[in-house]
């Protein structure tokens, strides 16, 4: 059986970054509120250096592909793209390993978010 078949819809899940993201603005204080329907994924997020953020994209199996835009605490906006792979940790909680790149400024990196609460 394909492992991605056992992964639930992300609708209603909340995630937070595992650690500060080098080169990014997301950190453990940033909370993501995910929604999913019919292969579409979207989320709002805020906390730490991020005043308000939005992401929108698609999901195929265990992979999300999306674009994000955000407003930081200093009032600057920025945009980028990301590909995330959904996994489960040893405790059964969802995690996403992310590869992202800014589109509005130089920089790229990797990050990881972990499930805070399930729906």
Q: How many helices (H) and strands (E) does the chain have?
A: 0, 8
Please state the domain count of the chain: 1
pTM of the model: 0.91
Q: What's the confidence (pLDDT) of residue 38?
A: 93
Q: What's the confidence (pLDDT) of residue 119?
A: 63
Q: What does the alpha-carbon distance between residue 39 and residue 56 come to, in Å, rounded to a whole number? A: 11
Q: Angle 74-110-102 (CA atoms, 0-180°, nearest 5)?
A: 45
Kindly report the CATH number assigned to the domain that includes residue 80.
2.40.128.30
Per the structure, the complete domain to which residue 15 belongs is given by: 3-117
Q: What's the confidence (pLDDT) of residue 54?
A: 98
Q: What's the confidence (pLDDT) of residue 117?
A: 76
Residue 102 CB neighbour total at 10 angstroms: 17
**Token pair 């909680």 in the structure block, residue:** 93
Task: Kindly report each contact of residues 48-55 with a partner whose C-beta sits within 8 Å and lies 24 or more positions away, as own/partner.
Answer: 49/25, 49/73, 50/25, 50/26, 51/75, 55/82
Q: What's the confidence (pLDDT) of residue 3?
A: 43
For the chain, list residues with pLDDT below 50.
1-4
Q: What's the confidence (pLDDT) of residue 49?
A: 95
Tell me the C-alpha to C-alpha distance, in Å, between residue 107 and each of 1, 27, 64, 74, 80.
38, 16, 20, 18, 10
């Amino acid at each position: 059986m394909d492992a991605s078949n056992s992964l639930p819809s992300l609708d209603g899940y909340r995630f937070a970054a595992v650690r500060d993201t080098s080169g990014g603005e997301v950190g453990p204080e940033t909370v993501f509120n995910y929604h999913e329907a019919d292969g579409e994924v979207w989320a709002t997020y805020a906390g730490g250096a991020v005043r308000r953020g939005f992401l929108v994209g698609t999901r195929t199996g265990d992979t999300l592909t999306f674009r994000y835009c955000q407003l930081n605490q200093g009032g600057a906006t920025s945009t980028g793209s990301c590909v995330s792979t959904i996994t489960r940790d040893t405790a059964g909680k969802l995690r996403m390993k992310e590869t992202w790149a800014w589109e509005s400024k130089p920089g790229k990196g990797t990050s990881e978010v972990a499930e805070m609460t399930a729906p």
